[in-house]
Structure 1
Amino acid sequence: MYLLSNLFSKLQTAQRLQKTDVKVPWSTATLRFIKLLKRQHLIRQYYVQDDKNIAIECYPNTLTQIRQISKSKKRIYIPAKRIGTLGQKGHIIVLSTSYGLLTAQEARILNVGGEILCEIY
């Protein structure tokens, strides 16, 4: 969780400063989250650099806010039946499921629940 919150902070700071390039420490969790962002067309590209860092090229003004929902002391889970009630139009909810990291829309299609990690505006 610490690595993801670090990633959220770095991405939001880069967006506020209107930077398009961000470097974050490599981990399996951060790489999976970055792949999800790429799949949703929220980042332009990413590169794994020597197994220690990941360089991310962002689109300007796409990740205006990332709000962490589950935290290390309080984890929030949602069953598959309630996923249809999540989020507002234009927001992306990220879930950690048995299928990996999915958006709420993907989880609804696969009919799986999981831990709500964050909401992206």
Structure 2
Amino acid sequence: MNTDPIADFLTRVRNAIRAKHRVVEIPASNIKKEITKVLFDKGFIQNYKFDETGPQGTIKIALKYNPTTKQPAIVDLQRVSRPGLRQYTGATSMPRILNGLGVAIVSTSKGVMTDKEARTLNVGGEVLCYVY
């Protein structure tokens, strides 16, 4: 049993990037699917596929690399809120990552979104992770 599935998701993606893998396979859950959609919308991953076979299903993520320099689109993934210490923030005190170059993925009452979207909708929530 995994006590922090979001940290496991981020670690699998981080390890796949460091090993220069093209595709990473992760056990699925609804929150992981939403984080994957945000990563795809912001251009951090090339593509994704939800495979519903089995009791839980899997998420297949095609990682994105620069074709000339072979550098990954994701430089780092950091887990912020964790089961032992939740991190909540309001709309006005939403964190800015690398002065707007990175994103903070936030779980709000209106769904999982980036820090910029949460600011424009004027909602706060739990800061799940930073991606840059």
Q: Which category describes the TM-score, using the shorter chain as reference length?
A: over 0.9
1:87 to 86, 91, 97: 97
Q: Do the aligned residues in 2 keep the contact of 1:94 with 1:104 (CA within 8 Å)? A: yes
The number of residues matched between the two structures is 120
Match of 1:57 in 2: 62
Q: What secondary structure, in the 3-state scheme, does the structure 2 residue paired with 1:82 have?
A: coil
Equivalent position of 2:119 in the other structure: 108
- The alignment partner of 2:123 has SS state of coil
Question: Which amino acid counterpart does residue 30 of structure 2 have in structure 1?
Answer: T
Q: Which segments of structure 1 move beyond 2 Å, counting only runs of 4 or more? A: 85-89
Q: Deviations over 1:67-87 (max 9, x none)?
A: 10101010011111212x532
Gap runs ≥5 in structure 2 = 66-71
- C-alpha root-mean-square deviation of aligned residues, in Å? 1.3
State percent identity of aligned pairs. Answer: 27
- Distance, in Å, in 2 between the alignment partners of 1:17 and 1:48 is 23
CA distance in 2, matches of 1:88, 1:54: 28
For the 8 Å contact 2:96–2:103, the answer to whether it is kept is no
- Aligned residue in 2 for 1:43: 45
Q: 8 Å contact 1:11–1:63 — kept in the other structure?
A: no
Q: Is the 8 A contact 1:80 1:113 kept in 2?
A: yes
Secondary structure, aligned partner of 1:6: helix
